[in-house]
Structure 1
Amino acid sequence: MTIDSFKAYDIRGELGVNLDEAIAYRIGRAFAQILWQRYNAEVNVKPESELATLKPAIVIGSDIRHSSELLKQATLKGILDAGVDVIDLGMTGTEEVYFATSHYQALGGIEVTASHNPINYNGLKLVKEYSKPISADDGLAEIQALAESGQFASSDRAAALQRLTDKTAYIEHVMGFIDIDKLKPLKLVINSGNGSAGPVVDLLVAKLTQAGAPIEVITLHHTPDGSFPNGIPNPMIEANRVATQQAVLENKADLGIAFDGDFDRCFLFDETGEFIDGSYVVGMLAQAFLNKYPNESIVYDPRVIYNTEAVIEEHNGKAVISKSGHSFIKQVMRASGAVYGGEMSAHHYFRDFFYCDSGMIPWLLTIELLSITGKTLSELVTGYIQAYPSSGEMNFRLTTHDAPTIISAIEDQYRSQQPSKSMLDGLSLNFGAWRFNLRASNTEPLIRLNIETQGDQTLLADKVHEIEQWLAAQGAVPA
């Protein structure tokens, strides 16, 4: 059996095509068997191993999609049949699984979610012990091979199923990132996109209110609804931003916040309703952490770097660049001990959240930063936007050549200008006054382009036009 829903970092597939309950069962059983065998092998040889403190359990949660509960039940049955206990968290966001995996000292964790993908899709996000990521070259391929073969080991261990849906410990942990006493009066619009975020937002707002925080919250598309009556929750799509922008303006709010379906990404809007590109949010949060923790390391990806590097230098931090993608960012953060890591895609990672990404921590840090500085969000970021304008990520569909061919050709195109070059993630060419990064998508037949300049909007517009025209000649059309 071939299971082609395995991707570079997780599992995503079209329902009834390459993902169904039978496949979910196989994945659950393979995941549990591999983690359980590795656990036993290491602990038997090294009883003092850090794995020895783990419980023989896997935590599992699911988002609000109508297909998620059935897929979760199939997955957890596979885990139980492998002889591994299951802790069912109920309806969750991905970060709740990250938290629970470490909190309950489990062998691993699974979130059943398709995040921002179309309604006829779903998937599974997997982590191993201590909420560490699993990627294709670090265990995911092994899980796929076993799931496809179906050569499962029999188990005589009577595994137990436990349902633990209380979110108190998770909420307390997330709230620990800010000092509530520092919060000033703020009005927030929070758009949960009818995804899984609503119940967690309610708990966090209740905690803020109980502590006397002068925060007023207007909720939008708040009720979890797997039919997504207001569209798939994906604020990266410009049309999906309109409702949040209008609500910010109508309510004269200080800040707009929006989430994707499993709320592992957080998107911000300033008091004018302007959407803030993720790269500038990375710089802002880097500033927030370096104010609290001087001289710490900050990890960032190579797509857009000018602003982030300037903020890190200005606030005496240590800049550490990483290939984009959560498994790479998390690995580099662990190796460097970085306090914070951010991607322009609105993924934000925190050392004190098990080096994992969270969509709830960023907006809490933002309201704390607004309160401490007394500035509006536009005042915090406008200077950086003007100093380091960027194109935002532009996607192009390939019709003639493959991504390696186009990337090699564009390097040849600009070779005579002698830019500095990096192949850390796709191709980055830096010309001093401007730079670009061109990289292949990990999941689609697309290439993704980012261009930025040193304070020159005219140069930015010229280079966007120049490279778009060049790409069109290579058969790459806007996606």
Structure 2
Amino acid sequence: MIDLSRIVKAYDVRGTVPDQLDEPVAEALGRAFVQTLRSRGEFAERVVTAHDMRESGPALASAFANGVRAEGADVVEAGLGSTDLLYFASGTLDLPGAMFTASHNPAQYNGIKLCKQGAKPVGQDSGLAEIRERAQAILEGRGEPAAATRQGTVEQHGMLADYATYLRGLVDLTGIRPLTVVVDAGNGMGGYTVPAVLGEGLPLTIIPLYFELDGSFPNHEANPLEPANLLDLQAKVRETGADLGLAFDGDADRCFVVDERGEAVSPSTITSMVAVRELAKAPGATIIHNLITSRAVPEIVREHGGVPVRTRVGHSFIKAEMATTGAVFGGEHSAHYYFSDFWGADTGMLAAMHTLAMLGGQAAPLSALTKDYVRYADSGEINSTVADPVAKMAEIEAAYPVPVDRLDGITLDFPDGSWVSVRPSNTEPLLRLNVEAPTAERMAALRDEMLDVIRR
């Protein structure tokens, strides 16, 4: 019997197929999703689904739909799509949704990202724990029988054209100067959504890399957070003399940016840049940033009259904070970007469009444009496999008598303005390290010191 506690994480479902996640599990989760929403008075009697390009996606989505239908609810199948396309469908149709994706995880994985009506998040504290318990009971034969008096229906409703039109209405790119853009889709869903959103009618010359949809990821993993997966994009930008490069992860809800020199632009820098644009539209507004973004982000937000709010890492936490505070925008160092005019949900495509608008609205190259937003040296996120993450964090905390924040893992604040974040992954058996310091030399020394403690 599959133990769902191993695959139902803090804010989504993620596991290997078929040993951890198979069709009976997906069907049980579909039933449990409907039961949980009904028990909370949050159900609209229909669910919208979408799936990415992974081979197991259609079968898992169909099984989940069977579970929804067994509970008497109807299913709207958006079919192939990115995660932010599913959020668009949930928002515009005002329906709860289920996206079948394992994001940047390797090919043997798949998963489910769930949301309520209007793309509102579902996490451990907002229904996911109850969904897991109900689904586990169903799989073990202890669940309540489906009380439906009718079998739900299924309808297909493609959303790509409406999604593209909506995004184009939020950021006008028609009047920018001509730009040449290399886009690395990593054989993920960016190869499906980029042509629709950034294609015809815009002053953009798109140079595609790996737009063929292939869930086996034959060229490189669709995880731009790993520097090795940016090498092809960086080389192509330099080779073609492009103005910038964009890299999307597998489900295309995250977007990474490379400047005209082929140098990666920190997601914290993009967060600051987009925050300034959003504050120009909504003076004094709240901007969300997670605890591993650069300290430059809250500094710049305050300098432009905004109110920065710091949160833990993870989309369900940030979306909840977006709703609570009425924030107009939020950014994570993992390159998730959240917008109030996108139902508070994350969309890498909209962040890319803001970057294009900012660059195309002036004459300087991207490297010059970003210079004012970079104030500190950072390590990026470094992952280490450890036997006991909790014990290792306790060891680190005991070794450094400095102020410690425990919002998410531990964050150590040093007197010189340097900080270190060490936290366990919510989706993989890893300990994640982030270091920032006033100088590159101090950052490198602190990074190496921390890695020595973590890996010894």
Q: Distance in 2 between matches of 1:278 and 1:215?
A: 22
Asked if the contact 2:422–2:432 (Cα under 8 Å) also holds between the matched residues in 1, the reply is: yes
Q: Secondary structure at the match of 1:449?
A: strand
Give me the TM-score of the superposition, normalised by structure 1. 0.89
Asked if the contact 2:81–2:192 (Cα under 8 Å) also holds between the matched residues in 1, the reply is: no
| 1:246-289 CA distance string (max 9 Å, x none) | 11111110010011111011011110111222222222222222
Could you say if the C-alpha distance between residues 314 and 376 of structure 1 is closer, same or farther in structure 2, counting changes exceeding 3 Å? farther
Q: Secondary structure at the match of 1:116?
A: coil
For 2:376, the aligned partner's letter is Y
- How far has the Cα of 1:383 moved from its partner? 4.3
| Aligned equivalent of 1:171 | 164
- How far has the Cα of 1:181 moved from its partner? 4.2
| Aligned equivalent of 1:185 | 178
Answering whether residue 423 of structure 2 is matched by residue 439 of structure 1, we say: yes
* Structure 2: segments with no counterpart, 5+ residues: none
Which deviates more from structure 2 when the two are superposed, residues 343-352 or residues 286-295? Answer: 286-295
Which deviates more from structure 2 when the two are superposed, residues 437-446 or residues 259-268? Answer: 437-446
Superposition map of 1:19-418 within 5 A: 19-39=21-41, 55-106=44-95, 108-150=96-138, 151=143, 152-206=145-199, 209-210=200-201, 213-385=202-374, 387-399=375-387, 402-415=388-401
Q: Distance in 1 between matches of 2:364 and 2:284?
A: 24
| Aligned equivalent of 1:13 | 15
For 1:92, the aligned partner's letter is G
Q: Secondary structure at the match of 1:263?
A: coil
Could you say if the C-alpha distance between residues 30 and 470 of structure 1 is closer, same or farther in structure 2, counting changes exceeding 3 Å? closer
| 1:155-210 CA distance string (max 9 Å, x none) | 1134221100142322222112212344111110111111122222111123xx43
Asked if the contact 1:391–1:460 (Cα under 8 Å) also holds between the matched residues in 2, the reply is: yes
For 1:410, the aligned partner's letter is I
Q: Distance in 2 between matches of 1:446 and 1:350?
A: 29
Q: Distance in 2 between matches of 1:70 and 1:263?
A: 21
Which deviates more from structure 2 when the two are superposed, residues 268-277 or residues 371-380? Answer: 371-380
Q: Secondary structure at the match of 2:238?
A: helix
| Aligned equivalent of 2:448 | 465
Identity %: 38
Q: Distance in 2 between matches of 1:130 and 1:57?
A: 13
- How far has the Cα of 1:429 moved from its partner? 2.1
- How far has the Cα of 1:374 moved from its partner? 2.8
Give me the TM-score of the superposition, normalised by structure 2. 0.94
Q: Distance in 1 between matches of 2:453 and 2:198?
A: 49
- How far has the Cα of 1:447 moved from its partner? 1.7
| 1:391-450 CA distance string (max 9 Å, x none) | 111222214xx22333233223221xxx44322122222224212112122233322121
Q: Secondary structure at the match of 2:316?
A: helix
Which deviates more from structure 2 when the two are superposed, residues 306-315 or residues 322-331? Answer: 306-315
Q: Secondary structure at the match of 1:291?
A: helix
* Structure 1: segments with no counterpart, 5+ residues: 40-50
Q: Distance in 1 between matches of 2:64 and 2:76?
A: 12
Q: Distance in 2 between matches of 1:248 and 1:305?
A: 26
Asked if the contact 1:284–1:380 (Cα under 8 Å) also holds between the matched residues in 2, the reply is: no
Q: Secondary structure at the match of 1:157?
A: coil
Q: Secondary structure at the match of 2:112?
A: strand
Aligned residues: CA RMSD: 1.8
Asked if the contact 1:9–1:327 (Cα under 8 Å) also holds between the matched residues in 2, the reply is: yes
| 1:300-335 CA distance string (max 9 Å, x none) | 011233111221122221111111111111111111
Asked if the contact 1:304–1:451 (Cα under 8 Å) also holds between the matched residues in 2, the reply is: no
Q: Distance in 1 between matches of 2:428 and 2:173?
A: 42
Asked if the contact 1:304–1:452 (Cα under 8 Å) also holds between the matched residues in 2, the reply is: no
Q: Distance in 2 between matches of 1:38 and 1:359?
A: 31
For 2:392, the aligned partner's letter is I
Q: Distance in 2 between matches of 1:446 and 1:215?
A: 39
Q: Distance in 2 between matches of 1:264 and 1:26?
A: 26
| 1:215-263 CA distance string (max 9 Å, x none) | 2111111121233322331112222212111111111100100111110
For 1:120, the aligned partner's letter is Q
Asked if the contact 1:304–1:450 (Cα under 8 Å) also holds between the matched residues in 2, the reply is: no
Q: Distance in 1 between matches of 2:155 and 2:120?
A: 23
